Amino acid sequence: MTVGAPFASPLYFPLRRWLGQLPPHPDGPALAALAERHPIVTANGRRIRFVPPRSDGLAYECRIWESGEVETRPDNWHDWFNALVWLTFPRTKIAVSARHVQAMAPTGAVRGSERDALTHFDECGIAVFSVQPELLDLLRAFQWKALFVERRAEVERAMRFVVFGHATYERLLNPFRGLTAKAVLHAVDASWLGLPAEEQIAAVDAILAADLTSGRYTRPRDFQPLPLLGIPGVTPDNADPAYYDDTWQFRPGRQATKRAA
């Protein structure tokens, strides 16, 4: 199947392997069949299955850890993308699930900042890779015009933006001004950019799983805000340098990030 609208955005590239095998809308039976052909097993030996929501009161994360069941609402874009992210980044999703359960153990129902951080990245995370570390420094400093206008050709050649968050994939169906993701940043060598697509995605999965297992990210503010519509090619509007004059969307300095949460 040819992948086209509604998945035309270049940010859908991590999911293209699966999108080409599925109808262009949430389809539970097709998804279940795909998951059956590509099994995922958690660290404690549970096979991941996408099941309808349960009403027994068991917490979502605990259900995944105890039984491998991922509650998935039928005909629901949000949950459908969540399942595709499981297929694309299984090691990272397993790490997120395990950290949630670990963080829940001492506090029970009390939700702390680490679980908030995990949820933010699970919903809205993106990984940014660059063979030129100075480009990552510009992103950290919110130097949007310097990055996306003055050094645009270098961004296109030397950087990769890999969406992880399933809520972000859902919102890319109808992207809006101010759509922002929570980023982790990594410098890589040039050989990394030359990897075949599936190998590159597997490498991203390993990197993100290690990131989230490390305990490095314990607060939502530990992630770097990234306005997605500034990435070259995501919207034709950003081909005009004046697009980045919108300081509501491309705020200088440390900006509020509720727009992606």
Collapsing DSSP to helix, strand or coil, 53 comes out as coil
- pLDDT of 258 > 50? The answer is no
- The dihedral region occupied by 21, where left means phi > 0, alpha psi between -120 and 50, and beta the remainder, is alpha
The rounded distance, in Å, linking the Cα atoms of 229 and 184 is 17
Q: Is the peptide bond before 6 cis (omega within 30 degrees of 0)?
A: yes
pLDDT in tens, 27-49: 988 998 899 999 999 988 999 99
- pLDDT above 70 covers what percent of the chain? 92
- pLDDT of 206 > 90? The answer is yes
Mean pLDDT of 210-237: 93
Mean pLDDT of 210-216: 89
Mean pLDDT of 92-110: 78
* Residue 24 tokens, joined: 């262009």
* Residues facing 163 on adjacent strands: 126
Collapsing DSSP to helix, strand or coil, 152 comes out as helix
- 234 CB neighbour count, 10 Å cutoff: 18
* Residue 163 tokens, joined: 């969406």
What are the E-state strand segments in 49-130? 49-51, 69-71, 125-130
Between strands 180-187 and 224-227, the pairing is antiparallel
The rounded distance, in Å, linking the Cα atoms of 86 and 156 is 28
What are the E-state strand segments in 24-101? 49-51, 69-71
- pLDDT above 90 covers what percent of the chain? 70
Give 153-205 as a DSSP string.
HHHHHHEEEEE--HHHHHHTTS--TT-EEEEEEEE--HHHHTS-HHHHHHHHH
Q: Do residues 148 and 155 touch, judged by C-beta distance below 8 A?
A: yes
Report residue 260's pLDDT band, with 50, 70 and 90 as the boundaries: very low
Residue in this structure with the two tokens 């309808």, named with its chain if needed: 52
Domain coordinates of the chain in residue numbers? 10-111, 119-260
Looking at the chain, how many residues does it have?
261
Give 196-261 as a DSSP string.
-HHHHHHHHHHHHHHHHHTT---SGGGSEEEEGGGSTTSSGGGGSGGGGG-TTTS-SSS---GGG-
pLDDT in tens, 152-200: 999 999 999 999 999 999 999 999 999 999 999 999 999 998 999 999 9
